[in-house]
Amino acid sequence: MRKTQVDGRLIDWDDVPKADWDALLIGNGLSINVSPDFAYGSLFEQSEKRPADGGLGEVDRALFEQFGTDNFEVVLGKLRDAIEIAEALGLDPEPYRQRFGSVQTALGNAVRSVHLERGEVPDSSLEAIRDELSTYGAIFTTSYDLLVYWAIGFEEEYGDFCDCFWGPKHGFDARDTHVRAGRRPVYYVHGALHLIVEGSGQTRKLIHNDRTILDQFGKPRLGDRDARPLLITEGSARDKLRAIEGNDYLSHVYETFKACDSPLVVFGHSMGMQDQHLLDAINANPARPIAVSMRSAAPEKLRERQAAIWGKLRSHEVHFFDAETHPLGSSDLIRKRPRPRLVR
């Protein structure tokens, strides 16, 4: 018999029935809790409305319209394919490279217009996030900003945290993904700002050296003009899944998430129509309990939202808790500085 409380009420996190809450799925709610600047809605919209500030030009927008998407990963992937086809046929690939560079630059400018600099995030916030993440055995995040990346590497003490980028030059190798006992893997379900796909198709992560990650993001890679950021930015669930399946790292992450049968905490995630691929993965293991965070609202509104999520999940046991009572929803994480100005 399925159990839940679809009654317009939220329990405190400490009152959620005890279980081995070993898996965590993080949505954009964590980022918004740290700074409302992250509640920008859509990178495509940010870029589309600022062509004079390095956003999408008319020709670039026509590409998105032609492919019926607002997902940068899809368009950049198709342009890279066009470059390879042109080269294979002995044609001039330069027009496609120009568009590739233009779209990538627009994406980079859109991200930098909304993303905080590292110095604008309080150390206390990153430390608190890291401490909470360390209580889980596996962390999956759909946010592609750098908060989780910064948190797990706070003061460069990565501890037990790991990712799958332990190959040469921080590359991903689908043949070497085993996580050793005692390690806490972090998986970026929709990519992240520190991940790139090289022109060869190799996925790897950027690291902080003489340039910050934000300084490197969206810029041409030295010696590799066809490298692109790995971000599943917008689009329908079908669009996202198609892009995920087209990348070896993302497909590994998705299959790992789908196979994970540990009790799952979902924090800061709406689980809307655009996330049906995530719901499908979660529902692959209906026997485990799920705890879902929600923001307080009128009982009628909460009841409606609870019923909608309950209807999408197959889990035998679902608990809805107040996000503000969870360490990742604490008001202590909130950044109290003015919004950064647009980077031109």
Domain presence at residue 185: yes
Q: What percent of the chain lies above the pLDDT cut of 70?
A: 93
Please tell me the predicted confidence (pLDDT) of residue 51.
Answer: 60
The letter for the amino acid at 63 is L
Domain presence at residue 342: no
Question: Dihedral angle at the C-alpha atoms of 120, 122, 125, 131, nearest 10 degrees?
Answer: 110
Domain presence at residue 339: no
What is the total count of domains within the chain? 1
Please tell me the predicted confidence (pLDDT) of residue 3.
Answer: 72
Domain presence at residue 7: no
Domain presence at residue 1: no
- Contact by Cβ (8 Å): 200, 210: no
Please tell me the predicted confidence (pLDDT) of residue 137.
Answer: 96
Please tell me the predicted confidence (pLDDT) of residue 1.
Answer: 62
pLDDT tens digits, 60-82: 999 999 988 887 878 888 898 89
Domain presence at residue 341: no
Q: How confident is the model at residue 93 (pLDDT cuts 50, 70, 90)?
A: very high
Residue 50, pLDDT > 60, answer yes
176 is in which domain, residue-wise?
A: 13-333
Please tell me the predicted confidence (pLDDT) of residue 338.
Answer: 47
Q: How far apart are the first and last CA of the chain?
A: 56
Domain presence at residue 8: no
More confident position, 180 or 2: 180
Other C-beta atoms lying within 10 Å of the C-beta of residue 124: 10
pLDDT tens digits, 123-182: 999 999 999 999 999 999 999 899 999 999 887 778 899 999 999 989 999 999 999 999
* DSSP assignment string, 52-84: GGT---HHHHHHHHHTT---HHHHHHHHHHHHH
Q: How confident is the model at residue 114 (pLDDT cuts 50, 70, 90)?
A: confident
What's the pTM value of the predicted model, to 2 decimals?
A: 0.87
Domain presence at residue 203: yes
